[in-house]
Amino acid sequence: MGDIRDTILEVAAKRFIQYGYHKTTVEEIARDADIGKGSIYLHFKSKEEILLELVRLFRTELVGKWIEIQKSRCTPERKLYHLLKTRLNYVMDKKTSIFSFSVKPERLLQKIVGVAEEFKPQYLAILESVLSEGEHKGIFHIKDRSEVATILYEMVSNILYRINFDQNFPYESYFESTFSLMVQGLLQKNKK
């Protein structure tokens, strides 16, 4: 039974990305999954529930990638880079940004943001762990690890937000410049 559920999610993700959430029907998902429409409702109450489950699935996959990076043998500086760059690339590759599903009304958008926010503490904990590692190795000089982790996380969020309104936004170079600036600040010793 899990296979059908996975197939539904896979097909729905492709349709949402290609045609948009609102232009995709449950009937089309069923047809592409080669199952009856009723079979979808055995696994999901609605198209909205499918979308929210996709957001959870994508976020869970990304947390897994972040944990791998956190455990890697890279320097803390490279870990930070890979964590943030992976988040940016993952969203761009998967087109999992909220707006790429062209979701409206605002009520549904708020639900999606709510699901995404459920994972934020995990991301922040991983960032704080890497920042702590950098502090212990004498690489980073930080007054408030939690604040810095939040700023780094939101830096990527802001880039992703910007991309949604300007498809030609040079996000790669903007990320590189912004990350470089942030790390320079972390590497400098506090001057008193």
Handedness of CA 32, 38, 39, 41 (dihedral sign): positive
Alpha carbon distance, N-terminus to C-terminus of the chain: 63
pLDDT of residue 91: 80
Split the chain (192 residues) into runs of 10 and give each run's mean pLDDT: 87 88 93 96 95 92 97 97 94 60 69 90 98 95 95 92 80 93 80 42
Assess whether the region 1-44 and the region 47-187 belong to the same CATH fold: no
158 CB neighbour count, 10 Å cutoff? 12
List the alpha helices (DSSP H) in the chain: 2-19, 26-33, 37-43, 47-71, 76-94, 106-118, 120-136, 145-165, 171-187
Alpha-carbon distance of 90 to 103, in angstroms, equals: 19
Alpha-carbon distance of 51 to 57, in angstroms, equals: 10
CATH fold label, 47-187: Tetracycline Repressor; domain 2 (1.10.357)
Structure tokens at 111: 């639900």
**Superfamily (CATH H level) for 1-44:** Homeodomain-like (1.10.10.60)
- CB within 8 Å of 124: residues ≥ 6 apart: 146, 149, 150, 153
- The one-letter amino acid code at 46 reads S
pLDDT of residue 192: 42
Residue ranges of the domains in the chain?
A: 1-44, 47-187
